[in-house]
Structure 1
Amino acid sequence: MSAPSKVILEDAFNMKKTVENYIQRRPRALVHIPVRLIIERLKQLGKVDQRSGCLLDVGCGSGESTRLLAKNFHHTIGVDPSAPMISYAIAFDNEISDIEFKVANAEKLPIEDSSVDVITAMFVVHYADLEKFIPECKRVLKPNGVALFYRHQISKILSAENDALPVIDGPVKMMIRQLLEKAREMSHPSFHTYELHQTQFDSINWEKKSREINELEFAPDSQWNLGSWSRFYQNLPFYQKAVKNDVNPVTELVQAVKNTWSMQDRDSDDIKIRVVYTTVMILLE
């Protein structure tokens, strides 16, 4: 498997302004809900240990999810290839003392052999070179350690005003398909998959592995509206690069929602919505 495009990995999250916008506009629900799902799954496996457990969070970004995960472990390490992201993680007023952040790639982890109980990685599998990342996971995990890889992808938009209005799923799938085709042009062929990481899962050499898929509504602290959701999505660093000179799939989706619900004359910020995501967990035991 060839290495991911530097256009995406280096440019997208190494621009300070881009990092600031991403952190400020990201709804907390898109952090807190995935963390809750991950912790619930780890508890089922008996892998949460506040007394002596060591967690490694790969692709930790600004550290928000890492700090939430860290409350369930004795020691936590967060790594990310983006120096600006790690700077934000370190600078954050952190109430957890036993946590550290490092600039590092998934393919070369600055971690001692057999020193980690749990590895988490959110939105990393489609970026990483799995031929290098998976052996690194095996190297740093203790015997009986586990790795849990997570991602989610929007699947449906529903009206929060009128349950009788049609569910928007076809236009959502079209938007995702357009973005993933652009991703393939910008990076190696395995970057993202329509089949929710089936390709990556099949390629992972691990004795006991599973892939779990569910649908879940992500409800932010304040009600989603069509305008706030579209601005968040269009602010994603990858999205900005993918549509730089092309048709804007989110704009097309917003128009499709308005047309379907006969709301063409309404401002997007006045249209309240509910958003359903498909979640994917790859568990390596």
Structure 2
Amino acid sequence: MSAPSKVIPEDAFNREETVQNYIKSRPRAMMDMPVRLIIERLRELGKIDQRSGCLLDVGCGSGESTRLLAKDFHHTIGVDPSAAMISYAIAFDNDTAGVEFKVANAEKLPIEDSSVDVITAMFVLHYTDLAKFIPECKRVLKPGGIALFYRQQISKILSAEDDALPVIDGPVKMMIRQLLEKAREMSHPSFHTYELHGTQFDAISWEKKNIKINELEFAPDALWTLGSWSRFYHNLPFHQKVRKSGVNPLSELVQAVKNTWTMQDRDSDDIKIRVVYTTAMIHLK
């Protein structure tokens, strides 16, 4: 097994406590929305007219999204550098056939040459060394195969209680800028390409590529409170690493929301919010 990618903090998702907190706090919509968009795109491209072919899900994490995608493929492989995540994925109670999980990173895929029809990667690209990952994608894809990379970024926070309250967007951008600045200091030099509309997609060398950008809001049944939303991001290893430096942009954002809505005295778990994300999907063929 190859060494973990330098872009990811060495123990990022390998602590059992981190894995359990991440899975517990992650909203269902965080998995369902990307999978839905990817399946829609695959249908448009004629890749899942029938249940056949092989799909490789890179950075599969705990495997829930991988299993959702697997329903449309004969064989599905999920890979992730975290042994803890893969252990959870293997133990997860699901009867989806034709799914296997492996501990591996994106830069050295344990996959045979020209054996995969579709590669998916969700919330992963900014963790990879693109100079090594993209050639690996080209190596394992069959002729005519495609890769779909998905990512999203917080765009706006709105009140789920009163539509007349201001939209929060400026503080969101402030939080992201602060996270990125710390990432440059503490992580891999290329981590700055986490920005959704940055240079990362442009830097990918591929014969044909197409980028689709949308702005989407979580469905009504996935509403968050300000407290539950912030806890999810607090549990992300990257944010934990940034907080160790003494910077906590997420807490600043929570306070900015309360100040803007004149809710300083309310508990964050009592403030219902709607979150809008800007999503980007790159299709390579």
Measured in 1, the distance between the counterparts of 2:263 and 2:25 equals 25
- Paired residues in the alignment total 283
Matched, 1:73 2:73: yes
> Which residue matches 2:107?
107
Question: Residues 50 and 71 of structure 1 are in contact (CA less than 8 Å); yes or no, is this contact kept in structure 2?
Answer: no
- Over 3 Å counting, the alpha-carbon distance change for 1:4 and 1:127 in structure 2 is farther
Report the TM-score, using the length of structure 1 for normalisation: 0.95
> Which residue matches 1:54?
54
Deviation, structure 1 residue 194: 6.4
Report the TM-score, using the length of structure 2 for normalisation: 0.95
> Which residue matches 1:12?
12
SS of the residue corresponding to residue 193 of structure 2 reads: coil
Aligned 1:226-237 pairs, distance under 5 A: 226-237=226-237
Larger deviation, residues 18-27 vs 196-205: 196-205
> Which residue matches 1:224?
224
1:30-85: CA deviations, max 9, x gaps? Answer: 00111001110111111125432110000000001100010111110000011000
Deviation, structure 1 residue 195: 4.5
1:150-179: CA deviations, max 9, x gaps? Answer: 111111000111111110000011001101
Measured in 1, the distance between the counterparts of 2:89 and 2:120 equals 17
- Over 3 Å counting, the alpha-carbon distance change for 1:15 and 1:191 in structure 2 is same
Measured in 2, the distance between the counterparts of 1:198 and 1:7 equals 17
Deviation, structure 1 residue 88: 0.4
Larger deviation, residues 190-199 vs 228-237: 190-199
Measured in 2, the distance between the counterparts of 1:237 and 1:11 equals 9
Deviation, structure 1 residue 219: 3.3
SS of the residue corresponding to residue 51 of structure 2 reads: strand
> Which residue matches 2:32?
32
Deviation, structure 1 residue 8: 3.2
SS of the residue corresponding to residue 97 of structure 1 reads: coil
> Which residue matches 1:187?
187
> Which residue matches 2:140?
140
Question: Residues 171 and 253 of structure 1 are in contact (CA less than 8 Å); yes or no, is this contact kept in structure 2?
Answer: yes
- Over 3 Å counting, the alpha-carbon distance change for 1:99 and 1:4 in structure 2 is closer
> Which residue matches 2:272?
272
C-alpha RMSD of matched pairs (Å): 1.7
Question: Residues 5 and 129 of structure 2 are in contact (CA less than 8 Å); yes or no, is this contact kept in structure 1?
Answer: no
Structure 1: 5+ residue stretches without partners: none
Identical residues among aligned pairs (%): 83
SS of the residue corresponding to residue 279 of structure 2 reads: strand
